[in-house]
Structure 1
Amino acid sequence: MRHGNFDSNTEGTANWRIISHLWPYLAESKSRVLLALACLILAKGALLTIPFLLKHLVDMMDGQTMAQTGATLVLGLVLAYGAARFSNVFFGELRDTIFGRVTERAMHRIGLKVFRHVHALDLDFHLNRRTGGLARDIERGTTGISFLMRFFVFNIAPTIFEIAMVVGILLWGYGPSFAVITLASIIAYGVFSLRATEWRTRFVREMNEADSASNTRAIDSLMNFETVKYFTNENFEADRYDVELTRWELARRKNRLSLFGLNGGQALIIAVAQTSMIGLAAFQVRAGEITAGDFILINQFMLQLFMPLGFLGFVFREIKGSLANIENLFDLLAEKPLITEQPDAKPLQVKRGGILFSKVNFSYREDRSILHEVDLAIEPGQKVAVVGTSGAGKSTLVKLLFRFYDPAGGRVLIDGQDISGVSLSSLREAIGVVPQDTVLFNDSIFENIRYGNPDSSDAEVMEAIELAHLGEFIRQLPQGHATVVGERGLKLSGGEKQRVSIARTILKRPPIMVFDEATSSLDSKSEQAILAALSEISRDHTSLVIAHRLSTIVDADKIAVLNLGRIVEQGTHLELLEKDGVYAGLWAAQQQQRQQ
């Protein structure tokens, strides 16, 4: 990945180092883990007594032995058998219930950690992300963590313990033959399962990649529903989605066929082992070397052993699948943002709100420079506008001020403080931005505006609504300010969304305000009304205005003209017209367009 990774494995094997990152979450709930392990030991102990109880019951069924055995002893053995069966199930369920809290807490903690981490990553990461695939990776990763923690602790270790106990009992009670068959079959089963599962992990990974890609394609198409309709590209989108679904189908088929091979091989090993054990036991009963009860005990141990062993194969496959699933999640956590705070970063102290761009150079790519030696001073309380042709670097100044990026050279200062040395939260709290492209949450208009200051009162939100000239529009809606705006605000027009954005920034009331083409989506009447409101709320605030319509910034204290990444002119509206330079040419062109 881009800024760092979690030692991702590209050769088809799962990354077992991931497990070490889960231990801290187990350690946080040490008492619960220990209690769950105690329940596990009790459940396994009850399970191991069942074959012995069955052996004694079967041996007592011999006519002569039955006549000599008291009814009380028979009843006691039967009740003990029932108690052992119940204890095995009861303590197993109790174990899962107790440990469930541990896995749920871990999923909560890791999910929140990933969410915070993704929000902490820089703008460049989010411009290149695939939203649908990212969401799927997080969902599969957290689910995989739950499975991994639960089954690694309560299935692999206990099954190994049970295997050791059964081999020991058979060796001690019935000689080496049964023990050797059991041990050989387990080794063969384990080696085959390990190698086959490692082999098929690549198919699990292919299937996950295809699943993420198809989900990304579907979400991307649905989020751009209007664009699809504008160009009547429904069939084109369906064809592209069909390509991704075909890839997903083929990946699922490979995964299913590889699973068939794995299950078939495991079943063959178990069948050969059980047949050998039962055959050997049957011949020994016939020869009088062991009793019918011993035959039942050996058979029961084999059933009890190979059931969890067969399940262990499933668990191992699922654990490998879970490791493949959560690899992307931990790769995501390993991403390092380009924009970070210095260890000794202090809060920004805004006393007057002066801004200085000092010899700033910047480029998004090495082969294309955007800003060249930009010097721009914005005095406290001033309204300074930056104008120029598209691609001149106007919006880049906003991104540098908000520290979405750091300049390649030069500095950006607020009240004499280099913004690269202050905390990001304090910097961004001090700046209010009305962006050119407003994106709203799928919530009510009222709550979208309150987002500017979640702690604000209803009265403060209503005041911001009136200042942004939204009141009349809201009163015309059947549900008023409770109207839901739809995903990304699609139920509102561009101008309505822009006014919601302006109201949101008004509510924040920061000392520094930035307007990036803030009135670009408004009609002339609304534009003039909002310009008056912005002028009012910007009073005594430092304002940076990125403008395309020059008529909106004629009252600016200073206008800076950017051309090909350089500031070529600075001055008031009248001063720049008198210079008859780049600004005067832009003004004349726009005036001519308005007259047409």
Structure 2
Amino acid sequence: MLFKRFERLIDVFRQAPDEMPPRSVVRFYVYYLRQVWPVFSALLLVGLIVALFEVALFSFLGRIVDLAQATPSGEVFQRHGAELLWMAIVALILRPLFNSLHDLLVHQTINPSLTNLIRWQNHRYVLKQSLGFFQNDFAGRIAQRIMQTGNSLRDSAVQAVDALWHVLIYAVSSLVLFAEADWRLMLPLAAWIAGYLFAIIYFVPKVKQRSVESSDARSKLMGRIVDGYTNITTLKLFAHTRQEENYAREAIDEQTHKTRMTARVITAMDATITTMGGLLIVTTCGLALWLWNQGLISVGAIALATGLVIRIINMSGWIMWVVTGIFDNIGQVQDGMQTISVPRQVVDHPDAQPLKVNRGEVRFERVSFHYGKGSGVIEGLDLVVRPGEKIGLVGPSGAGKSTLVNLLLRLYDLEGGRILIDGQDIARVTQESLRARIGMVTQDTSLLHRSIRDNLLYGRPGASDAELLEAVRKARASEFVPLLSDASGRRGFDAHVGERGVKLSGGQRQRIAIARVLLKDAPILILDEATSALDSEVEAAIQESLETLMRGKTVIAIAHRLSTIARMDRLVVLDKGKIVESGTHGELLEYGGLYARLWQHQTGGFVGVE
């Protein structure tokens, strides 16, 4: 019950603004820590009390030695019973109690919950980045930075709180206790504190810089390894195991070098602190013995000074490692910020409203887009797709067909012109509502590494089993879905399909994708090489289902196999980002332009149609 109380102090999934995290390190920390400020305030208070109790134990040691010397044997408890009882209460009850409270706050509240709160909010933000964001980086590196940032921010924050009080309380209390005995006992400690601060100022920034470099190299290594695993089929098909080894080897070599450079600084720092610690022990103990020999301090003061100095030396190593760890973690947070704190390229307009599709008209007006290259791809394109009309986009590779579809889905923002659906500018409606009203079957169908059921429910969450079965039947997938199984013994709709659906054939993946779009039943439909992975027999078998799927919808279809879109209401021929021809299959053949040449090329020796 006690554990649960502390575990519930931080809500991992608390409501938070869906905004870019700050790009300054300090503000980045504040952004997340202020969300859990009551817990960190409690940790600061408890940390102060714990540190005070630690110093008090050494004060008790010196006091006990003095009491033993000054009080006749047999009378210690009679004369000083109350004082000794207080010491016992501190050592047996209060110190363990507050240490346990500290551990509960750290291990039950902060470690699991704050870490995952940061990961959750970062994942939510990154998930809504544009398509270009993910195309420009390794998926593994993005994931690595999401995971490490939460861990590193939490560790550095907790370590800073613990180190703060131990440094302040031990330094100030030790100087006060030494001064009470004899002011000269303060001198070695004061000199050591000055040297220790100088060592921190000198070494820690070097460790921080090396840690940032090492963290970046580690993320790069992770990205390369994951990239190889993700594309393992390509690796094996081209027999490039050795080349892939060398690709990873370069990253491992770089990461090893960066880690060694960090280790050099740490070793030098450790040697310096150890030497300074030896000097502090010798000078303080020697001075204490000399002062006692002169009758200026008591034996208890020698015990106090010796015990505190040894404790400070041991703690100084810990503090230096903690400070190093703090800056190492700050370096990793900075590394993570390079990926996380990046403005989204495609964002909803502040006044964006949900898209309402009543008719399904799609209008492209003076649309220009060139991936930021300045020119090319699509220039000043005008196109109107009437409600319920089915058009085919035709053209050579690089003509802009897929780009036009990506712009309609607003995966990229236009660089000129606008796109309207039923008179609504897609730049002024929410992205979620836009894509919810458009169904799409792509050429390269990628399934989630989840069950068949989960993949289908992406089309319509909450669909019944009967609806799933009907969609699978219409997509001609009912013949293989019941026979599927995975390594965990799950079968049929519960079988997992592997990363990107690799455990299914291309045709099976395509039919699951078609079933998913059948479930979605969106008023606007995009088919991007929808039957490219199907053999002729299967393609013919599901053609009727595709026609059922297209009925009553506005359809934009892309196909290199022109025979698959010849029956569309209208064909639009693109070349170098511009519409060069438009008409029915028969009209375009009669015109004898680019479409006719493409048709002749395919039917003249590659397709073999009658």
Task: Give the TM-score normalised by structure 1.
Answer: 0.92
Cα distance 1:191–1:336, how it changes in 2: closer, same or farther (>3 A)?
same
**Aligned match of 1:410:** 417
- Which residue of 123, 141, 146 corresponds with 1:115? 123
More divergent stretch after superposition (517-526 vs 30-39)? 30-39
- Which residue of 309, 331, 334 corresponds with 1:327? 334
Displacement of 1:325: 0.3
1:283 aligns with 2:261: no
Displacement of 1:267: 1.3
**Aligned match of 2:72:** 66
| Letter of the 2:502 counterpart | L
The question of whether the paired residues in 2 share the 8 Å contact of 1:36 and 1:96 is answered with no
**Aligned match of 1:360:** 367
1:23 aligns with 2:8: no
1:310 aligns with 2:317: yes
| Letter of the 1:480 counterpart | G
Displacement of 1:301: 2.3
**Aligned match of 2:202:** 195
Distance in 2, matches of 1:558 and 1:107, equals 55
Cα distance 1:27–1:531, how it changes in 2: closer, same or farther (>3 A)?
same
- Which residue of 519, 525, 533 corresponds with 1:507? 519
**Aligned match of 1:293:** 300
Task: Give the TM-score normalised by structure 2.
Answer: 0.90
Identity value in percent: 30
Superposition pairs for residues 155-166 of structure 1, below 5 Å?
Answer: 155-166=163-174
**Aligned match of 1:84:** 90
Distance in 1, matches of 2:334 and 2:110, equals 21
> Could you report, residue by residue, the CA deviation over 1:438-478 in whole angstroms, capped at 9, with x for unpaired residues?
11111222221112222222222222111111001223435
**Aligned match of 2:536:** 524
Displacement of 1:79: 5.5
Displacement of 1:403: 0.5
Displacement of 1:119: 1.4
The question of whether the paired residues in 2 share the 8 Å contact of 1:358 and 1:374 is answered with yes
- Which residue of 115, 128, 140 corresponds with 2:136? 128
Distance in 2, matches of 1:336 and 1:575, equals 48
1:454 aligns with 2:461: yes
The question of whether the paired residues in 2 share the 8 Å contact of 1:431 and 1:510 is answered with yes
| Letter of the 1:143 counterpart | N
The question of whether the paired residues in 2 share the 8 Å contact of 1:60 and 1:69 is answered with no
Superposition pairs for residues 476-495 of structure 1, below 5 Å?
Answer: 476-477=483-484, 479-495=491-507
Superposition pairs for residues 267-282 of structure 1, below 5 Å?
Answer: 267-282=274-289
Aligned to 1:453, the other structure's residue is in SS state coil
Displacement of 1:68: 6.4
> Could you report, residue by residue, the CA deviation over 1:324-368 in whole angstroms, capped at 9, with x for unpaired residues?
001122233321122122211122121111001112122124255
Aligned to 2:273, the other structure's residue is in SS state helix
**Aligned match of 2:556:** 544
Displacement of 1:163: 1.4
| Letter of the 2:427 counterpart | S
Aligned to 1:519, the other structure's residue is in SS state coil
**Aligned match of 1:13:** none
1:595 aligns with 2:602: no
Distance in 1, matches of 2:165 and 2:549, equals 66
Distance in 2, matches of 1:274 and 1:19, equals 37
**Aligned match of 1:569:** 581
1:469 aligns with 2:476: yes
| Letter of the 1:65 counterpart | T
Cα distance 1:5–1:106, how it changes in 2: closer, same or farther (>3 A)?
closer
The question of whether the paired residues in 2 share the 8 Å contact of 1:358 and 1:410 is answered with yes
The question of whether the paired residues in 2 share the 8 Å contact of 1:210 and 1:251 is answered with yes
Distance in 2, matches of 1:158 and 1:23, equals 22
| Letter of the 1:470 counterpart | A
Cα distance 1:118–1:28, how it changes in 2: closer, same or farther (>3 A)?
closer
The question of whether the paired residues in 2 share the 8 Å contact of 1:44 and 1:88 is answered with no
Distance in 2, matches of 1:480 and 1:48, equals 66
Displacement of 1:217: 1.6
Cα distance 1:73–1:489, how it changes in 2: closer, same or farther (>3 A)?
farther
Aligned to 2:73, the other structure's residue is in SS state helix
- Which residue of 153, 158, 165 corresponds with 1:145? 153
More divergent stretch after superposition (560-569 vs 367-376)? 367-376
Distance in 2, matches of 1:222 and 1:99, equals 36
> Could you report, residue by residue, the CA deviation over 1:197-229 in whole angstroms, capped at 9, with x for unpaired residues?
112322222222222222222111111111111
Distance in 1, matches of 2:232 and 2:509, equals 18
| Letter of the 1:170 counterpart | F
Distance in 2, matches of 1:523 and 1:233, equals 30
Distance in 1, matches of 2:252 and 2:35, equals 42
Distance in 2, matches of 1:570 and 1:262, equals 74
**Aligned match of 2:177:** 169
Displacement of 1:370: 0.6
**Aligned match of 1:422:** 429
Distance in 2, matches of 1:246 and 1:31, equals 44
Distance in 2, matches of 1:45 and 1:157, equals 9
| Letter of the 2:138 counterpart | R
Distance in 1, matches of 2:320 and 2:91, equals 24
1:378 aligns with 2:385: yes
Distance in 2, matches of 1:153 and 1:133, equals 30
More divergent stretch after superposition (419-428 vs 67-76)? 67-76
More divergent stretch after superposition (68-77 vs 555-564)? 68-77
Superposition pairs for residues 195-274 of structure 1, below 5 Å?
Answer: 195-274=202-281
Distance in 2, matches of 1:175 and 1:290, equals 7
The question of whether the paired residues in 1 share the 8 Å contact of 2:67 and 2:76 is answered with no
Distance in 1, matches of 2:32 and 2:594, equals 62
Tell me, which stretches of 5 or more residues in structure 2 are unaligned? 1-19, 486-490
Distance in 2, matches of 1:24 and 1:409, equals 36
Cα distance 1:393–1:20, how it changes in 2: closer, same or farther (>3 A)?
closer
Aligned to 1:348, the other structure's residue is in SS state coil
Distance in 2, matches of 1:60 and 1:190, equals 36
The question of whether the paired residues in 1 share the 8 Å contact of 2:292 and 2:299 is answered with yes
Aligned to 2:72, the other structure's residue is in SS state helix
Q: How many aligned positions are there?
A: 582
**Aligned match of 2:566:** 554
**Aligned match of 2:5:** none
Aligned to 2:500, the other structure's residue is in SS state helix
Displacement of 1:399: 0.4
